[in-house]
Amino acid sequence: MLNAVWSEELSGSEAAEVLELLTAANEVDGRPELPSNGALPGEFTGGAHLLARVDGEPDLVGYAHLDLGGDSFGRTVAELIVRPDHRRRGLGAELTEAVVARAGVRENPDTLRVWSHGDHPGAAKLAERTGFARARELLVMHVDVPSAGWPEPVLPDGVRLRAFVPGQDEEAMVAVNARAFDWHPEQGALTVAEVRETEGEDWFDPAGFFLAEDVEGTVLGFHWTKVHPPNPRRFGGEPVGEVYVVGVAPGAQGGGLGKALTTAGLRHLAARGLGQVILYVEGDNAAAVAVYERLGFSRSEVDVQYGR
């Protein structure tokens, strides 16, 4: 019998159990991505946590996280994971129904979204059985760094690039981000506090965080890059760079600044000796997908959100 209990704050021992379960899933699925500092991934902090056990067994067999704050459109967002050696026993369906009940969305089902990272076939079957359908696709695009690298970025007249300065540039960057991504379920809600918190993570590198500004010093856009450590289940087990976020203020769009920022970041990642670069882009953003394809990127993976 499944024994599932909700908690809005994990104890130290519970967090360790969740991390052990996530590690077991990562070893099979390559997901979720796990920080190198031994902490839980950021998407599993805060909110509500569902810890599931089978009577008579000591280890967690399932875990779900519910983001009670929701996305930018007020949808509650959930993630759920079944321990690999306990899958195909109906536990996923039980966890899903527990998430639906906790989210309180039976009367308004479109206010809940559930992630399937890597478009796992088991998640697709579970979604069909529990009344969910694909509602959003987030593409992972990939490129091998060309031997000749990428060309120098061509900036619009009167625009220059510089590196982000921690403690100075957070507010200007977040203001541009909010305007550039006012349509996006997650990115547009980025806060100054979240940027400052990220600055403390081991992967943060201001040298790979480019700002574009005009002659008066007004920030017009940015490209935030990231480097992922090797993951044996993804991209050949090699470290990989990421076009983490590229944002351009609406008034500066259409003049080639986005491409210039993207190219500057790609050149930085190549200079670090990385052989591969990835990025995430909304599957229905045809214009952005076309830009990245012209830079050599191709579709590699897809993350799916399911909704009822």
For the stretch 220-261, pLDDT in tens is 999 999 999 888 888 888 999 999 999 999 999 989 999 999
To the question of whether residue 99 is assigned a binding role by annotation, the answer is: no
**Do 63 and 117 belong together in one domain?**
yes
**Do 156 and 201 belong together in one domain?**
yes
The reply to whether 252 falls in a domain is yes
**Do 99 and 174 belong together in one domain?**
no
To the question of whether residue 248 is assigned a binding role by annotation, the answer is: yes
**Do 123 and 182 belong together in one domain?**
no
To the question of whether residue 125 is assigned a binding role by annotation, the answer is: no
**Do 196 and 125 belong together in one domain?**
no
What would the mean pLDDT of 106-131 be, rounded to a whole number? Answer: 87
Confidence check: pLDDT of 187 > 70 = yes
To the question of whether residue 226 is assigned a binding role by annotation, the answer is: yes
To the question of whether residue 81 is assigned a binding role by annotation, the answer is: yes
Name the residue type at position 191.
Answer: T
To the question of whether residue 242 is assigned a binding role by annotation, the answer is: yes
**Do 126 and 66 belong together in one domain?**
yes
To the question of whether residue 140 is assigned a binding role by annotation, the answer is: no
**Do 85 and 228 belong together in one domain?**
no
**Residue 22's closest CA among 64, 55, 58, 57?**
64
**Do 271 and 180 belong together in one domain?**
yes
Confidence check: pLDDT of 107 > 70 = no
**Do 52 and 164 belong together in one domain?**
no
- Domain end call among 131, 151, 177: 131
**Do 257 and 183 belong together in one domain?**
yes
To the question of whether residue 168 is assigned a binding role by annotation, the answer is: no
The reply to whether 219 falls in a domain is yes
The reply to whether 223 falls in a domain is yes
* 123-152 per-residue burial string, b: 16 or more CB within 10 A, e: under 16: beebbeebebeebeebbbbbbebeeeebee
**What's 48's domain CATH number?**
3.40.630.30
The reply to whether 136 falls in a domain is no
To the question of whether residue 280 is assigned a binding role by annotation, the answer is: yes
Could you give the number of structural domains in the chain? 2
Instruction: Kindly report which listed range (31-35, 75-79, 128-132) carries the lowest average pLDDT score.
Output: 31-35
Q: Are strands 112-116 and 76-82 parallel, antiparallel or unpaired?
A: parallel
Confidence check: pLDDT of 109 > 70 = no
Q: What range does the domain containing 18 cover? A: 2-131
Q: What DSSP line would sit under 162-202, residue for residue?
A: EE--TTTSHHHHHHHHHHHTTT-SSGGG--HHHHHHHTTST
The reply to whether 78 falls in a domain is yes
To the question of whether residue 186 is assigned a binding role by annotation, the answer is: yes
Cα 35 vs. chain centroid, distance in angstroms? Answer: 13
To the question of whether residue 68 is assigned a binding role by annotation, the answer is: no
**Do 151 and 300 belong together in one domain?**
yes
To the question of whether residue 253 is assigned a binding role by annotation, the answer is: yes
Q: Which two tokens stand for residue 37?
A: 């500092």
The reply to whether 274 falls in a domain is yes
- Domain end call among 104, 131, 158: 131
What would the mean pLDDT of 85-108 be, rounded to a whole number? Answer: 88
**Do 217 and 286 belong together in one domain?**
yes
Is 247 in contact with 211 (CB distance < 8 Å)? no
Name the residue type at position 11.
Answer: S
pLDDT at 108: 64
- Domain end call among 110, 131, 152: 131
pLDDT at 113: 94
Is 167 in contact with 173 (CB distance < 8 Å)? no
Q: Which two tokens stand for residue 94?
A: 């039980």
pLDDT at 85: 93
